[in-house]
Structure 1
Amino acid sequence: MDKTIGLACNISTGKLDANQAVSGGEYPFFTCAEFPDQIDHFAYDDDVVLVAGNNARGNFHVSRYKGKFNAYQRTYILTAKEGFNIDYVYYALKLELKRLREKSQGSQTKFLTMPILTGIHFRDITGDEQTEIANVLSVIDQKIELNNRINAELEAMAKTLYDYWFVQFDFPDDSPQGQGKPYKTSGGKMVYNPTLKREIPEGWSDGIISDVIGKVPQAMKVLAKEFQDNGKVPVIDQSQSYICGFTDDETATIQPESAHVIFGDHTRAVKLVNFDYARGADGTQVLVAKSDKVPSYLLYQIVSDIDLSSYGYARHYKFLKESKCVIPRAEVSQRYQNTVKHWHEKIRDNIFQNYELERLRDWLLPMLMNGQVTVGEAS
């Protein structure tokens, strides 16, 4: 006989409004979005599964977390009762996402009610069997998480180098006088720039983003309703997910010469794309570097560093194009490009490896949970 989530878990909800997120806060703040925000105080410290209680498309995101956190009032917080494995509960809920969407209530925003959540069924197996199944799936998720941490470290390295060279101006000075020492720290000549209202290295200049980007490649835009779970060409749009879907329409393919920068007109999301892709519609802006003084990988870092948050909900691309930026000497820019290119290629490889791992996990998930495949067969 099947068990239910209501029998397996203690369930509560968060207490906060969604607008209480704090940028740069110390703790994750789980709302009904796919990824948590941040907040500066916590209300919970536990080993939990979190389920989004509403979503405009009925995609009730399920998250696994252990530690200190806070939660929105429409987020369900689940802890496992004795005899039930919390990881098994997490995977059981992931398997039910499509069914939850079908059972959701409400005409505009879709709602996941407590009776629907507590009534979800899963196979009645022993605690040891639950642990075995959860362990197989967790190994895959742990590799995905490791790749994500590696990517975050590589992104941080590229940002640190950018700050050191193009904000603090301590790039290696290869002139006979500099002998490879940090430019500004070792006395490199600085000149006051009235537009940027700061000193910049001699020979550098100022500009705006529209000065350093070129013509966007002509290609068909892929609508959200046309996204596929799998396909020949990954689709990049302005959402927080790096790859939002796929298409089999190869006429939509864009082939960057080096890399393109994707900017979200509404979301302000910034992505570097160094592979063939298709462009999502509705606010997905493509930035193509046209100057050897601001090549693609440097352009990505410059755009990522521009703060447009004060404009609130708006079309941000027009403000981005008019944003001021420093224009370095080409040899410094190219040296940065050559250094970080390998890091971003590793990031790309990890992203696609994670996609394959997610496919494997999602293929195994229903068979393990339904008993079609045993743990011995899966491993």
Structure 2
Amino acid sequence: MKYNQWPRVKIAELCELIVDCVNKTAPSVDYETPYKMIRTPNIKGGRINLTGCRYVEKETFKKWTRRATVDKGDVLLTREAPMGEVGYVDFTDTVFLGQRIMQYRADPQKLDSAFLLYSFLSPDLQYQFRRHDSTGSIVSHIRVPDCSEFEISLPSLDEQRKIASTLRNIDEKIALNSHINTELEAMAKTLYDYWFVQFDFPDANGKPYKTSGGKMEYNTTLKREIPTGWRASNILSLANLLGGGTPTKTKPEYWNGSIPFFTPTDSDKNIYSLNTQDSITELGLKNSSTRLFEKNTIFITARGSVGRLALNAVPMAMNQSCYALKAKQGVSFAFLYFLTKELIHHLEVKATGSVFNSIISNDIEYTYLALPEDNDLIDKYAKKTELAFAKIELLTKENQHLIALRDWLLPLLMNGQVTVK
């Protein structure tokens, strides 16, 4: 078929629609049970993350659910808080839906469920979600009756499956890369904890130091035992602490240049930061208190989303809501990354009972950690882990390209402008 000749069909003719499955008063418990309740925060960007879902008892599940569970292949749409997020049920756990979520169960004779997912993620449907945003409301939301009014372009089932398969292959590669990165980071952190927290680094005979009876001494500063020859020191003995700044917004010539500008909103779950929402010009860099931080500087968010870390994969500037730690000569950035994570953990423990809503330079300067007296052990750790960091950076960049490819293909495939051979 030619571009734009696919019929437009209402979702209600292709799916069973199921409204919010659980009453708002359904009580949850603070321990795991087989009965999970998906909430709107669990749904984002086509994915459903069961981490952080609520748990209820079996009796509550039976009492409050009108439909027992979601089925694999269902597509979920958040109607409010936030509005318009979409997720695909790709699991068989016993779960049901909290408030403000619409459930779409595709008729397999008419509609491929994965094709429905990508239709919902397309600019076409995202525009329809915004168009149906109820006016006059404080919070953006989609009314239940409007959830049956959305229309999609509908090719044949065979064409639907080809399109969905193409996009799913890209998403699966992205997910695989992310999984590999998670495993690589976990391996590097496990080795860090084993050597520098549990003190079971290799001794002169290659055996675990503390477990094999290595000599320990009580440190009055840390108020615990550390290996003989180690010291209590702050992270600034191994890194320089640097601040950032923001060019004035009143000078448009300072903004939208070629220099990435890191802020707390750019921090995510990735170790490496590749792109930023904002960028500045050379003129903006010159006329502000920020500077150009070279690759593998560690950014710490000090306000906003406090305590998140990122390594810059390219030179970046940074605003004043962050700190930067630059490893001193001869110190591995990989070691410094996990040392900084340990520092943040100590700050979080100190803040127990109070609000951990900011980090100041004194927090970093006056938090002491156990460090080896020389860098030999740090160098050994670097040799074992920096290749993992290089692989993480490579896969993060690959995912960036894959996401750009998917987002470029998505509207073209969904409106028939591009076809799958």
Measured against the shorter chain, the TM-score band is 0.7 to 0.9
Amino acid at match of 2:358: H
2:334 aligns to what? 297
Deviation at 1:357, TM superposition (A): 0.7
1:14 Cα shift?
Answer: 5.5
Distance (Å, rounded) in 1 between the aligned partners of 2:127 and 2:237: 46
Q: Which amino acid aligns with 2:133?
A: S
| 1:112 alignment partner in structure 2 | 142
- Residue of structure 1 in register with 2:280 after alignment: 249
* Residue of structure 1 in register with 2:288 after alignment: none
1:215 aligns with 2:241: yes
Q: Could you tell which deviates more after superposition, 64-73 or 197-206?
A: 64-73
Alignment of 1:123 onto 2:157: no
Where does residue 203 of structure 1 map in the other structure? 229
Distance 1:274 1:25 in 2: 40
Map of 1:237-276 to 2, 5 A cutoff?
A: 237-239=263-265, 241=268, 242=270, 245-247=276-278, 249-251=280-282, 254-256=292-294, 258-263=296-301, 265-268=303-306, 270-276=308-314
Q: CA deviation at 1:147?
A: 0.5
For residues 19 and 274 of structure 1, the distance between their equivalents in structure 2, rounded to whole angstroms, comes to: 43
Instruction: Read off the aligned partner of 1:263 and give its amino acid letter.
Output: T
Q: Say whether the 8 Å CA contact 1:21–1:29 is kept in structure 2.
A: no
Match of 1:93 in 2: 120
How far apart are the structure 2 equivalents of 1:232 and 1:181?
50
Q: What TM-score do you get using the length of structure 2 for normalisation? A: 0.73
Higher relative contact order (CA 8 A, sep 6+): 2
Letter of the 1:2 counterpart? R
* Residues 190, 202 of structure 1: 8 Å contact kept: yes
Contact 1:261–1:272, Cα closer than 8 Å, also in 2: yes
Q: CA deviation at 1:72?
A: 3.9
Distance 1:298 1:159 in 2: 9
> SS at the partner of 1:216?
strand
Residues 1:28 and 1:11: Cα distance change in structure 2 (over 3 Å): closer
Q: Is the 8 A contact 1:232 1:246 kept in 2?
A: no
For residues 331 and 32 of structure 2, what CA distance do their matches in structure 1 show? Answer: 29
In the TM superposition, what whole-angstrom CA distance separates every residue of 1:224-279 from its partner, at most 9, and x where no partner exists? xx9xxx99555544345355744453435733254323335332352331422545
Contact (CA 8 Å) 1:55, 1:110: kept in 2 or not?
yes
Separation of aligned partners in 2, 1:302 and 1:18: 43
Change (3 A) 1:219 1:100: same
What is the distance in 1 between the residues matched to 2:155 and 2:294?
51
In 2, are the aligned partners of 1:265 and 1:317 still within 8 Å (CA)? yes
Give, in whole Å, the separation in 2 of the partners of 1:76 and 1:119: 13
What is the DSSP-based 3-state SS (H/G/I as helix, E as strand, rest coil) of the residue aligned with 2:18?
A: strand
Instruction: Tell me which moved more, 179-188 or 273-282.
Output: 273-282
Q: Identify which of 325, 341, 353 aligns with 1:288.
A: 325
Query: Measured at CA, do residues 265 and 300 of structure 1 come closer, stay the same or move farther in structure 2, by a change above 3 Å?
Result: farther
Pair 1:163-2:193 in alignment:
yes
Structure 2: segments with no counterpart, 5+ residues: 1-6, 62-68, 286-290
Instruction: Using structure 1 for the length normalisation, give the TM-score.
Output: 0.80
Preserved contact between residue 39 and residue 99 of structure 2 (Cα < 8 Å): no
- In 2, Cα distance between the equivalents of 1:277 and 1:23? 44
C-alpha deviation, 1:29, in angstroms: 4.6
Which SS does the other structure have where 1:341 is aligned? helix
Deviations 1:258-309 (A, max 9, x none): 43233353323523314225456584x2331455697532232233344428
SS at match of 2:304: coil
Residue 46 (structure 1) aligned with residue 83 (structure 2): no
User: Structure 1 pair 163/254, CA: closer, same or farther in 2 (3 Å)?
Assistant: same
* 2:260–2:280 contact (8 Å) kept in structure 1: no
Report the CA distance between 1:135 and its aligned residue. 0.5
| Partner Cα separation in structure 2 for residue 74 and residue 312 of structure 1 | 33
Is the CA contact (8 Å cut-off) linking 1:292 and 1:334 kept in structure 2? no
> CA 1:352 to 1:2, structure 2 compared with 1: closer, same or farther past 3 Å?
same
Offset, 1:169: 0.7
Instruction: Note the aligned Cα RMSD (angstroms).
Output: 3.7
- Give the match's secondary structure for 2:264: coil
2:376 aligns to what? 331
Contact 2:261 2:280 in 1 (8 A): no
In structure 1, the gaps of 5 or more residues are: none
Which stretch shows the higher mean deviation, 245-254 or 86-95?
Answer: 245-254
On the 8 A contact 1:14/1:72 being kept in 2, the answer is: yes
The answer for the alignment partner of 2:172 in structure 1 is 142
Query: Which structure has the larger Rg over C-alpha atoms?
Result: 2
Which of these residues, 69, 75, 78, is aligned with residue 104 of structure 2? 78
Q: Which residue of 2 aligns with 1:61?
A: 85
CA distance in structure 2 between the partners assigned to 1:346 and 1:100 by the alignment: 39
Q: Structure 1 residue 107: deviation in Å?
A: 5.3
Task: Report percent identity of matched pairs.
Answer: 29
SS at match of 1:199: strand
Shift of 1:18: 12
Counterpart Cα distance in 1 of 2:31 and 2:332: 30
